[in-house]
Amino acid sequence: MDYLKEYRNWCASDALDAEERAELAAIAGDPAEIEERFYCELEFGTAGLRGVIRMGTNGMNVPVVRRATQGLADYIRGIDGGAARGVCIAYDSRRFSERFARETACVLAANGVRVRLFSTLHAVPQLSFAVRHQGCIAGVVITASHNPKKYNGYKVYWSHGGQAAPEQAAEIFACIRKVPFFTARSCDYDAAVQDGRIGLIGAEEDEAYYAATKSVLLRPELLKTRGGSLPIVYTPLHGAGNIPVREILKQAGLSRVYVVPEQELPDPEFPTVAAPNPEDPGAFRLAMALAEEKGATVILATDPDSDRLGVAVKKRDGQWSVLTGNQIGCILLHHILSERRAAGTLPDNGVVVKSIVSSRLADAICERNGVELINVLTGFRFISEKIDAFEKSGEKTFLFGFEESFGFLAGGFSRDKDAICAAMLAAEACVCYGERGMTLYDALQEIYKTYGYYREKVTSYTLEGKAGMERIAACMEELRRHPLTEAAGISVCAVEDYAENCRTRSDGTRERIGLPKSNMLRFLLEKGAWVVVRPSGTEPKLKLYIGANDASEAALERQLAALFDACDGMLRERLGL
């Protein structure tokens, strides 16, 4: 892309408003900034678009949103009956989210595509549910999930309620690329609402979602009688979870829910946190102070679009432990399987699905309970695809799915990570264990004693801009040419290259992996340890995952620390950090 030519084209466009023109004029004397904004266009991948809010082809802005929506509309109109089925749209609390959602609605409506737009900000799982409940061909959520405040995004969902599959995303992107910037058709928002081309949805759809969510409760009567005994602190981290999480907990019978006042209302600046991410222990600082005041032993936190759930629990010594996504997932999994087994409702064809970088403790829990576990690639869309296939074939009954990155799902009525449902189940687990005089932290220790000690560690290396992406690509290429043979003195038994869909064992034998292709390397080590390296699909990051297990907690901690130090040092050297 000729970035200077593209910059001049944008500056000359009469489709921009005064503020947009001023932003472009302000960088006229900065060639490096112009190149950064115009050297490429945002890639439309399986997570849709995501980028920094700024003018340019490589940013999230009105022209980019309109163009993407025109391409989506063209794709939908090419499907028999697609335009009539329509698109459901939701948005979170980020900067320009409501504006981008309305622009999306106006472009679709101008192209004759039926629109159902949430009238207020809503969570990702509510949109996923609504796509299926409303019978839509697709859905769009304006969100950048847990990214820093300078980001926003445009996620596309399909009729099964999950994100668009990789092949389909490529087809949609091909349609988008055929659309010249500033040529998207649009219409007046108020007029389209008045004549019904844009239909607004809200309370009725919410109640349908709440009813479906409560159907996965395992001990609803216990919550009705004992839910009032459990004080819970909750923080929406300035996002879309505030209303739905509080409402589902209230309807389930949990009446002592205290919301962190400083983080209660939507705020695109996220002023109380470095990043609105429940994976960050720092996000719990204000919640912990409130929990001490209210005598709560559990804290729930959701990210801005409420698809990720974080949990902090109080230990016997009075200290707080912020659980990892793997720990939360395994607590919920154990709760679901043990309660269903006790009630005699665990189906013979039950199945659990998790990402390949998530804890192998889940494998041990499923094996002990006689439940099949399926591993899929990173990205919740792969879990949703499995749920859709199970529903169509009737071969298996989906029980639970999770990713280590704080994404959990039960029931399958929503087809993406669902922090609203997960918050309800975590609260139910608290009440159930409370009947035995235990906290969730006690429950986790009981799980370890039963199944063995498992630990994982995840870190990422952020390298922004064009140069950063090139360094990440070079690092992955170097790892393919010269893969790990050992780490911290532990030998590598096999190397799995998902870009080649091939597993190479230490004796040289090769075999196919049987999963879709992905830019990811997994190293299987002796003693059950493993290492994964992959670029993020939504952020300018290279990610490192490490997992290990041992009968002794102390030995496990030593092994994990040594593995991390070895792999972290190796990657930093190769990335030039």
Q: Which of 93, 145, 306, 355 is catalytic?
A: 145
Contact in structure between 90 and 98 (CB atoms under 8 Å): no
Residue 176 amino acid letter: I
Q: How far is it, in rounded angstroms, from Cα 159 to Cα 247?
A: 27
Q: Which residue has the tokens 């009525």?
A: 413
Report the residue count for the chain: 577
Q: How far is it, in rounded angstroms, from Cα 69 to Cα 142?
A: 12
Whole-Å CA distances, 413 to 130, 201, 219, 308, 421: 10, 18, 19, 17, 11
Residues 6+ apart with CB under 8 A from 19: none
If you write DSSP's letter for every residue of 464-503 in order, what string do you get?
Answer: -HHHHHHHHHHHHHHHHHS--SEETTEEEEEEEETTTTEE
Q: How far is it, in rounded angstroms, from Cα 369 to Cα 380?
A: 24
Q: What angle do the packed helices 440-451 and 325-343 form, to 10 degrees? A: 80
Residue 165 amino acid letter: A
Residues 6+ apart with CB under 8 A from 199: 114, 115, 116, 117
Whole-Å CA distances, 359 to 367, 407, 548: 14, 13, 9
Supply φ then ψ for residue 138, to 5 degrees.
-155, 175
Q: Which residue has the tokens 């608290």?
A: 430
Q: How far is it, in rounded angstroms, from Cα 489 to Cα 469?
A: 31
Supply φ then ψ for residue 315, to 5 degrees.
-90, 170
Residue 145 is a catalytic residue: yes
Q: How far is it, in rounded angstroms, from Cα 251 to Cα 212?
A: 12
Residue 221 amino acid letter: E
- Burial class of residue 56, CB neighbours in 10 A (0-12, 13-18, 19+): buried
- Outline where 346-416 has alpha helix (H): 361-368, 380-393
Q: Give kind and range of the element (H or E) at residue 350.
A: strand 350-355
Q: How far is it, in rounded angstroms, from Cα 305 to Cα 485?
A: 41
Active-site residues, by number, are: 145
